[in-house]
Structure 1
Amino acid sequence: MAQKTEAQFVTFSLGEEIFAVPVEVVREILDHEDAFKIPHGPDYLLGLRDVRGQGVPVIDLRVRLGMTPTVKTSHTRILVLDVPVENRVLALGLVADRVYEVVPFLRDQIEEAPDIGIQWRSDYISGVVRRNGGFVVIIDLARLFSDSGSALATATRMQHVA
């Protein structure tokens, strides 16, 4: 009998949209605090935050995905992630409007990003899952941040110097 494989994901929202990242990359979830600003960083890089003695770049994922900037509320959280990118692991803090839960998705429930016939920024989507009458977008973190430019790379190098 074939066993259906499932993967665990942490779900969170940006506005009305629900997103997910694999649970194995989530180190911890923190309350939102303002980050130490880094001059000349890209608009989505909010700055550095000290996480247990490590300087971690904090990213406004809403801005990175072309949405309006995050407006901090009592529900705003930072997901501290260890993202495998190329031949290293990138420590990142992603700002989420709200973090929900860890949920299992069967691998055969995960669909590819839809083809809408035109070019659009779907390269950060590793898949979508139908859930509760809507969709959960699974983010391909490595793709989202591998081309993020020198500012993130500089911030990552700074955390090793500090």
Structure 2
Amino acid sequence: MQSEIVVPVAARQEVAIAGKTPEGADAGAAGQLYLAFRLAGEVYAVDILRIREIIEYSLPTSVPMMPESVRGVINLRGSVVPIIDLAVRFGRDATGVGKRTCFVIIEVEYGRTKHILGVMVDGVNGVMDIGADRIEPPPSFGTDVDTRFIAGMARAEGRFVIILDVARVLSIAEMATIRSVSAGR
């Protein structure tokens, strides 16, 4: 059974920023570091350089007139951070809360502005080193996730890992459009 990674991710991120893997090898030769997490029985991964931190689940404060995928907001050291339920964003049922449910805090850019968003996941698997030669293009069919959200697929630990395109999954403009369409229903 894998343990949850909270503090080590930050340490690995600092190492990745310096251009080295934890073993001291050049990051370009070893591959790219990704944070892997579970959601509705699938394993997904996000470029670790987008990850700010991972925090324990706490009940978000709901906000009226938000898209269904926005579970609410949390206070993160004085900042209001929207929490996105990725399962709902992918058209699935809402994520249930379990012992390992947590928020992955991610930085996305919209225009020239950086935004901090949290995504609710079933649990974190850890950090994966995936070489570019192991990443396949998104499938044209056969996945429950909109292929626009998929940057690629990689095989790891005997199963496929779906690598997400964070900019598209967490597109602020698209979520605003969804909200305005939902309000018009």
Give the TM-score normalised by structure 1.
0.85
CA contact 2:70–2:85 (8 Å) conserved in 1: yes
Question: What is the aligned counterpart of 1:115 among 126, 140, 148?
Answer: 140
| Structure with the larger strand share | 1
Distance 1:137 1:84 in 2: 21
Q: Secondary structure at the match of 2:147?
A: coil
Unmatched segments (≥5 aa) in structure 2? 1-27, 180-185
Moved over 3 A (4+): none
Match of 1:145 in 2: 170
Unmatched segments (≥5 aa) in structure 1? 153-162
Task: Using CA pairs under 8 Å that are at least 6 residues apart, name the structure with larger relative contact order, 1 or 2.
Answer: 1
CA-CA distance at 1:100 after TM superposition: 1.1
Q: 1:85 to 1:5 in 2, by over 3 A?
A: farther
Give the TM-score normalised by structure 2.
0.75
CA contact 1:5–1:107 (8 Å) conserved in 2: no
Q: After superposition, what is the alpha-carbon deviation per residue over 1:49-87, rounded to whole angstroms, capped at 9, x for unaligned? A: 011111000011110011111110111010011112332
Letter in 2 for 1:69: A
Question: What is the aligned counterpart of 2:120 among 88, 91, 95?
Answer: 95
CA contact 2:62–2:71 (8 Å) conserved in 1: yes
* Aligned residue runs from structure 1 range 7-86, under 5 A: 7-86=32-111
Q: After superposition, what is the alpha-carbon deviation per residue over 1:120-162, rounded to whole angstroms, capped at 9, x for unaligned? A: 720000011011221100111111222222588xxxxxxxxxx
Distance 1:67 1:151 in 2: 16
CA contact 2:63–2:73 (8 Å) conserved in 1: yes
Letter in 1 for 2:132: R
Distance 2:29 2:53 in 1: 28
Q: Percent identity?
A: 30
Number of residue-to-residue matches in the alignment:
148
CA-CA distance at 1:5 after TM superposition: 5.1
CA contact 1:25–1:81 (8 Å) conserved in 2: yes
Q: 1:108 to 1:86 in 2, by over 3 A?
A: farther
